[in-house]
Structure 1
Amino acid sequence: MVRACRPRAVSVWLVTRAPARIDLEINQHDGPVVATGSRDTIQLGAFMHVAVVTAVPTEAPLQSATTYTYSLKFHDLSTGATLDFAAAVDDLAGLCYPPFNLPSFVLPADKVEDLGIVYGSCRKSHGEGRDALAGLDDMLAQGTADPRARPQQLLLLGDQIYADDVSDALAVVIDQVSRDLCGTVEQLPVKYREDDLRVGNRGRLAKKHGFTSSYARNHLFFLREYMVMYLMVWSPVLWPETLPTLAECHRIAGGKKREKFEKQRTQVALLQAGLAQVRRALANIASYMMFDDHEITDDWYLNREWTQRTAADPMARQVLTNGLIAYAFCQGWGNQPEDFEQGPQWALLEGSSKWVAADYPSEQQKPLQDLVGIPPANERLHNLDRDPAKSCRWDYRVYGPAHEIWMLDTRTWRGFPGKRGTDIPDLLGGHGWSQLGERARAESEIVLVVAPTNVIDLPHTAWASRIVAKLTSVYDSDYGDSWEAQTEAFERLLGNLAANVYQEGGQQALAILSGDVHYGFCARIHYAGRHPFAAEPAPAGARYETVMAHLTSSSFRNKNSFTELFHTRGYWPPLPWVYAWAGWHKRPKFRHTSWRGRFKAFFQSWRTRNPKAEPPLLNLENLPREVRVDPLPDWRYRIDFLGGHHPSPERLNKPYPELIQTTGRDIVGNNNFGLLRFLWPEIKQNRWIRQELWWYSENGEIAPLTQFEVPLAFGLDEPFPLPKLPQEEEET
């Protein structure tokens, strides 16, 4: 799997059956070797050895708009044998795109208009429908030969695995494969019966020890299981020819249990059928990843109650640690390989290997828990603060010649400001806000901010999630994982993005990428203010003004009947949907021009739970003209939900029936991934971001069947003007 790719370093992630020293060579197309590197694997089981090997240029840095190929050589440290790439892998040709005879990649474009960035999230092994990540292989195969047309980066925004939701058939396979690869069996630090770990029986144990997943019947507990889950969903190599049958999984089963089992088994088989495509795609494009909750467990750190309960439970602490160790080896290491050469990240890799080699001694668990940032037990938590010098940081940045990507960790730095344990969290709290503290480089023309959970959600689903959370349980709704659910943190995020992203103030644009919600859509945020919340004020006489394209692609594979309804119906009521808000650091005063104004002012819509304690925000959509507000807002913004369109038939290589339908036009509820392109002339007023959502047509092929264009214009060319108070409207 190709991971971080930069002009001075290219990294490849892989897993071997034997300890090995791996040599990596980078060639310019089929030409000379231009970069080399080697690395020894790290052992995590008797037959599981992991490495991220990095090659550095022999002379000049690698260039954009150039296709590079790579090859690997394996020196078996146990036997002394040496294998070349073709001998070591089962099907080298199956990893390559014509016309190349080796896997290939390209570096990010040196011009924004040539950037191609793929992103997506949420890939459940037994999700419904075809796997959109397998469809990425079809897209890459169409344009691999042209380095300028070929996408350069793949961003996986969370839920790369579903550790808490595993089908019975796959659970049996994972158990057997993980025992074969890892040998020694890890023990849990609590009393349990072996029957508690049988397929379909783990839900009771998971619930007893603090987990809240509704589908925990096969929850992964052990490190070997977490590791093998990644291997199973990224490659076909370890899969059996035939999945286990119902009789092989359960002693007695019938009726609804049989029906559910067979349905999920069929869905897993469909995933398996596309894994050769997934493997090839991941071997040919640089990938960067960030976790959401399902890499560890559902509702991970959702609120203070959940966090304190699991922090005090020995089994929960071990399971959370196992999930984060697996994340470090399978995702985090490849994101920033240099960070894992020393410090807490290297200590985690080395310590985990020693823990496994020593047969999982309990006395070695506490240092690993500290390294991954498991909160202290039996403490009332206000923030998930920890010492970055003594524990791993998972947030990072990716730099290209003209762009940069900010990968935010919104799970392990949360704040819990509410009085009740189930109150909605701040997705960043305390030291976590330092992720936004450093401004972008001067040469970066566009910044992509990755927030794995949505900053804003569709109006009707946000409303429904809020109702579900109030009427049932906060654990039955994802409302607490949405930025807009927590007023102060939401305002602080927007203020930081408006004031602190770019070196220069003035009019700027950026993109927010998110996933999690299992459908794709597009929105636009226009933010302006002389003193944004929780940010430094603009210089005298100036103000910050930023257009943010909020782009969502989800899911790779987790559609359901609700997302299909969104796909069919779109927005209801139809567009336009607009939010218009103004904010103050201190609550403003109302003046009234009539008794009607006094009456109407009493019923104005304040967004905050308590406007006197939090930044007061006033809804400007229906503010009566008889009402005057003093002083003018410190900041204001407008959020527009944008409709999409189907591409014209001539843009595609063949006709698709969806092009003459309205389904999937404004909201994509089918399995999908996004491709970002940029229309980027020198004049800022004429710039646009285009999001293509690729999903499967009813003819069985994947294509960019939905497109959104987000204008980045300001001023007179602004298609969505900033909201104004009635008194400002009268002055103009």
Structure 2
Amino acid sequence: MPNPPDCEWLASLPLVLAGPILQRVETETVTVWVALKQSCRVMLTIYSTADRGQTIGEPLFRNSQQTVALGQSLHVVAVSAIAPAGRPLTSDALYAYDLSFHETYSLAVHTLPQGLVAADRPAINLSYFDHPLPTFALPPQDVADLRLVHGSCRKPGGEGFDALPVLDSLIADAADQPCHRPHQLLLTGDQIYADDVADPLLWVATRLGDALLGWEEQLPIGLDRLGQMIYQTPRSLPPGERSTVATDQAGLTAGLPRQPKKSNSHLFGLGEFYAAYLLGWSPACWPTLPPGRILYQEPKLIRQWDADVRKLRQFIHTLGKVQRSLANIPVYTIFDDHDVSDDWNLNRAWCLRVLGRPLGQRIVQNALLAYATFQAWGNTPEQFTAGQPGGALLAAAQDWAASAGSNVQAYGAVGRYVGMPATDAQTRQPKFVRCGQTLVLDRHPDALTWHYTIRSPCHEIILLDTRTWRGYPADQPPPAPPMLLCPEAYEQQLGQTLQPDSAASGDSILSPRLTFVVAPTNVFGLNVIDWVHEIQLRRRRVFASDVGDAWNIHSPALAQLLQYLFDRRQQVVVLSGDIHYSAAVRLTYQSGSSPPAVLVQLTASAFKNEETLTRLIHTRLKSWLLPERVRRWRGWRQPPDMVELPRKGDRATPPDWRCALEWIPRQPVCYPSFSKPNDWLPLPERRNELLRSRWYQPLLFWLSRWFQSGREVVGLNNIALVQFRAASRDRALSVVQDVYWFSPWRPIQLVYSRYEGEIKPNSAQLEPLDKAKGG
């Protein structure tokens, strides 16, 4: 049970621990996710508005839903309201919503503002208007009016300012304009970091997790000399001291090679994973962080703790803006590795190493249960109704919590529904099944589906699950790079989804809709990264640099991806993250005598995880030393494969298709007119310090605006706004990605870099392939 100080802390928290987060929004349904301290029936009501959102109109429809008890003091729900038949929501209007909370064990009813209030905490305002309600707008009819925001990789203890709060400014700037405010937010991976956790964050997460659960989880650490399982609680594995257990007992690879700091405070317990989400989305659950001298005596440890606390205090300082923005825009997410652990399912070697150990299995299952209840429920609410796998998972999660972690049947059911692979009884290793020439982790047929699609009149977005449906080469050693989608997954996630659209209009520029594909790991990246991956693969140091997460490290898989896309669509926009920089590229593809097709990849990363290397490639130094050049490939259909020029193909047959990749240049830095981050960004005690730094910043050459103007990428913490406009000629559409970041030459100045390119093939880049011999 929680100790008395934790009980007092829990009692001081507001009813609403995190949220509300607006999630899946369609013309007929609206889903809102919220985490509460008490069991409630939550009522969601959708309203019309007038006066450009200033006035709340009549209630349009409502629905209520009971929360799910994930712990004694943690109750979560994604409540969906359905519009009456024949009265759908429209794309040219602003809507508002309200929540009310009806306590299960009393007659008390709380309004949304009441649920957000706590005695010793500042008031939370979720509205951009004079009224207190959050608002939203549906995607428009015309793709030229569509506004998407995307980003990835948000580590609370990472370097630099958090870029996600910039979303609040983007919404505020056009909150009263349904066709111009951002319509959807796509979080493309690493919403939390289970590895590389700052020690103070784990210190809070462990205590908060235990307090919310109301019990301490018994983690299976390993076997003693007599072959009996040893159990320890999360609190008995303190911050900064988990690396050995994470690496040797759980088999995790985050600390390899010689990087123990990245696993020193790895999340283990279910309560810790729940807490990581709450702490990343809301300021409500954060206590005052103690100074290092209270916990340590060694000066080095004190300094490191205090440095981490300063980063976290800055992160907490802007969480109110994050909470407001997530309440006012439909949010869609998909996981990547850090939501579970670095290198999650990277290759078959990782699966055998981690999923063959009790602690490794427990950590992965805890992470997936937290992802399912905190993210996937709102992404695909239809899966979490009664009689569906998600509904069964919620029931099992409640049983597991009610038993204080002792109900073996409930634990097994959780594993079944989140897709944990079956284990061989003799070897204790995870089971694989054959899928073409690859091996895929075995799972129960009732497991949740993580990939999904969202559609509007002007666009469709396919969010890929490239983590749990990997195809590991059956004829190669375990460290070999996998197909990020096995053959069966290509058909499930792309083949069945990219069907002809009966809603296509004959005069549409883009027929039928503009197709987006969210690929959490980059389809195309910097050439130097490909070189590093090839070198590390030959040295079998695959965990050091994520060899296996890049699509083009496995050329047959990349070839098959391109074929699946271009056999069904002529224009595709890929949204990606993962790589800790932002960029834009355009691929022109032609198969036989067919008209050429085009793929534009827009990358946005990281919200908060800039590093020394990304700061370097952000500058002109990268453009001088390692400029990106046009790359060209020839490809074959059966079996799928592709080779890059100037290398010649190994086949005697002529290629079936060819493609060329070019980088869309980063335009000169611009200053937005809508935001003054010096008013809200820095901690009060740091504001004067940062303002004073303006006097000497011009003397630091490497921080100057000129040197920071690299050609290809933005390597500082950033967030991207994507919009479209019709080009002046031949009715082609241009895509514009504005990447917002904080300038080094004026540290509290928000700037943006623009990437703009037409969504049409550049056939001129294919001409060298026609002239080249061989293949």
Bucket of the pairwise TM-score, normalised by the shorter protein: 0.7 to 0.9
Deviation, 1:472, is: 6.7
Provide the C-alpha distance between the structure 1 equivalents of 2:382 and 2:711, rounded to a whole number of angstroms.
42
Deviation, 1:81, is: 0.8
1:436 corresponds to 2:436: no
Deviation, 1:347, is: 1.1
1:154-197 Cα deviation digits (max 9, x unpaired): 00000000012211111111112122221111111341556861
Q: Which residue is 2:439 aligned to?
A: 383
Provide the C-alpha distance between the structure 2 equivalents of 1:467 and 1:321, rounded to a whole number of angstroms.
33
Deviation, 1:575, is: 4.5
Q: 578, 594, 612: which one pairs with 2:630?
A: 578
Provide the C-alpha distance between the structure 2 equivalents of 1:518 and 1:34, rounded to a whole number of angstroms.
42
Provide the C-alpha distance between the structure 2 equivalents of 1:712 and 1:35, rounded to a whole number of angstroms.
39
Provide the C-alpha distance between the structure 1 equivalents of 2:277 and 2:76, rounded to a whole number of angstroms.
12
Change (3 A) 1:48 1:307: same
* Alpha-carbon contact 2:560-2:640 (below 8 Å) kept: no
Provide the C-alpha distance between the structure 2 equivalents of 1:628 and 1:243, rounded to a whole number of angstroms.
61
Q: 354, 365, 386: which one pairs with 1:310?
A: 354
Q: Which residue is 2:602 aligned to?
A: 551
1:642 corresponds to 2:687: no
Q: What letter matches 1:355 in structure 2?
A: W
* Alpha-carbon contact 2:670-2:752 (below 8 Å) kept: no
1:211 corresponds to 2:252: yes
* Alpha-carbon contact 2:113-2:132 (below 8 Å) kept: no
Q: Which residue is 1:32 aligned to?
A: 58
Q: What letter matches 2:413 in structure 1?
A: P
1:298 corresponds to 2:342: yes
1:239-271 Cα deviation digits (max 9, x unpaired): 11x212223444x4223x333222222111111
Q: Which residue is 2:103 aligned to?
A: 76
Deviation, 1:24, is: 0.8
Provide the C-alpha distance between the structure 2 equivalents of 1:105 and 1:448, rounded to a whole number of angstroms.
21
* Alpha-carbon contact 2:669-2:709 (below 8 Å) kept: no
Deviation, 1:465, is: 3.5
Q: Which residue is 1:669 aligned to?
A: 715
* Alpha-carbon contact 1:290-1:407 (below 8 Å) kept: yes
Q: Which residue is 1:366 aligned to?
A: 412
1:605-633 Cα deviation digits (max 9, x unpaired): xxxxxxxxx6554444588xxx9997542
Please give the residue correspondences for 1:254-653 in structure 2 after superposition, counting only pairs within 5 Å. 254-255=299-300, 257-341=301-385, 342-361=387-406, 362-377=408-423, 378=429, 381=432, 382-386=438-442, 389-417=445-473, 418-433=475-490, 434-438=492-496, 439-440=498-499, 441-442=501-502, 443=504, 444-471=512-539, 473-500=541-568, 502=569, 508-530=570-592, 543=594, 545-569=596-620, 570-573=622-625, 575=627, 577-585=629-637, 615=640, 617-621=642-646, 632-646=654-668
* Alpha-carbon contact 1:23-1:74 (below 8 Å) kept: yes
Q: What letter matches 1:493 in structure 2?
A: L
Provide the C-alpha distance between the structure 1 equivalents of 2:401 and 2:357, rounded to a whole number of angstroms.
22
Deviation, 1:568, is: 1.3
Q: Which residue is 1:153 aligned to?
A: 184
Q: Which residue is 2:285 aligned to?
A: 238
Q: What letter matches 1:583 in structure 2?
A: G
Provide the C-alpha distance between the structure 1 equivalents of 2:440 and 2:647, rounded to a whole number of angstroms.
39
* Alpha-carbon contact 2:125-2:132 (below 8 Å) kept: no
1:122 corresponds to 2:153: yes
Match of 2:522, SS state, is coil
Q: TM-score with structure 2 length normalisation? A: 0.82
1:208-246 Cα deviation digits (max 9, x unpaired): 221111211111111111011100010000111x21222
Please give the residue correspondences for 1:91-130 in structure 2 after superposition, counting only pairs within 5 Å. 94-130=125-161
Provide the C-alpha distance between the structure 1 equivalents of 2:668 and 2:150, rounded to a whole number of angstroms.
19
Provide the C-alpha distance between the structure 2 equivalents of 1:364 and 1:218, rounded to a whole number of angstroms.
28
Deviation, 1:498, is: 0.7
Change (3 A) 1:727 1:459: closer
1:712 corresponds to 2:738: no
Deviation, 1:522, is: 1.0
Change (3 A) 1:584 1:55: closer
1:64-98 Cα deviation digits (max 9, x unpaired): 12111111111101112111222222277621113
Match of 2:200, SS state, is helix
Change (3 A) 1:700 1:32: farther
Q: Which residue is 2:41 aligned to?
A: 21
Change (3 A) 1:141 1:727: closer
Provide the C-alpha distance between the structure 2 equivalents of 1:412 and 1:544, rounded to a whole number of angstroms.
35
1:47 corresponds to 2:73: yes
Deviation, 1:432, is: 1.6
1:141 corresponds to 2:161: no
Provide the C-alpha distance between the structure 2 equivalents of 1:407 and 1:21, rounded to a whole number of angstroms.
31
Match of 1:583, SS state, is strand
Provide the C-alpha distance between the structure 2 equivalents of 1:193 and 1:3, rounded to a whole number of angstroms.
37
Change (3 A) 1:394 1:682: farther
Q: Which residue is 2:227 aligned to?
A: none
Q: What letter matches 1:297 in structure 2?
A: S
1:176 corresponds to 2:244: no
1:725 corresponds to 2:770: yes
Provide the C-alpha distance between the structure 1 equivalents of 2:709 and 2:337, rounded to a whole number of angstroms.
30
* Alpha-carbon contact 2:169-2:674 (below 8 Å) kept: no
Provide the C-alpha distance between the structure 1 equivalents of 2:313 and 2:672, rounded to a whole number of angstroms.
35
Provide the C-alpha distance between the structure 2 equivalents of 1:100 and 1:646, rounded to a whole number of angstroms.
39
Deviation, 1:697, is: 2.7
Provide the C-alpha distance between the structure 1 equivalents of 2:674 and 2:208, rounded to a whole number of angstroms.
42
Provide the C-alpha distance between the structure 2 equivalents of 1:300 and 1:560, rounded to a whole number of angstroms.
21
Deviation, 1:368, is: 1.7
Deviation, 1:683, is: 7.6
1:384-410 Cα deviation digits (max 9, x unpaired): 355674111100001111101000000
Q: What letter matches 2:659 in structure 1?
A: Y
1:281-337 Cα deviation digits (max 9, x unpaired): 111110000000111111101110110222221221111111000000110000011
* Alpha-carbon contact 1:638-1:723 (below 8 Å) kept: no
Match of 2:136, SS state, is strand
* Alpha-carbon contact 2:141-2:458 (below 8 Å) kept: yes
Q: What letter matches 2:485 in structure 1?
A: L
Q: What letter matches 1:426 in structure 2?
A: M
Change (3 A) 1:343 1:321: same
Match of 2:413, SS state, is helix
* Alpha-carbon contact 1:408-1:450 (below 8 Å) kept: yes
1:3-34 Cα deviation digits (max 9, x unpaired): 01111001110011111011111111211111
* Alpha-carbon contact 1:620-1:725 (below 8 Å) kept: no
Count of aligned pairs: 677
* Alpha-carbon contact 2:422-2:431 (below 8 Å) kept: no
* Alpha-carbon contact 1:519-1:670 (below 8 Å) kept: yes
* Alpha-carbon contact 1:498-1:545 (below 8 Å) kept: no
Deviation, 1:202, is: 1.4
Provide the C-alpha distance between the structure 2 equivalents of 1:122 and 1:287, rounded to a whole number of angstroms.
15
The percent identity for this pair of structures is 33
Q: What letter matches 2:548 in structure 1?
A: G
Match of 1:384, SS state, is strand
Match of 1:96, SS state, is coil
Structure 1 window deviating more from structure 2 (78-87 vs 18-27): it is: 78-87
> RMSD between aligned alpha carbons?
2.7
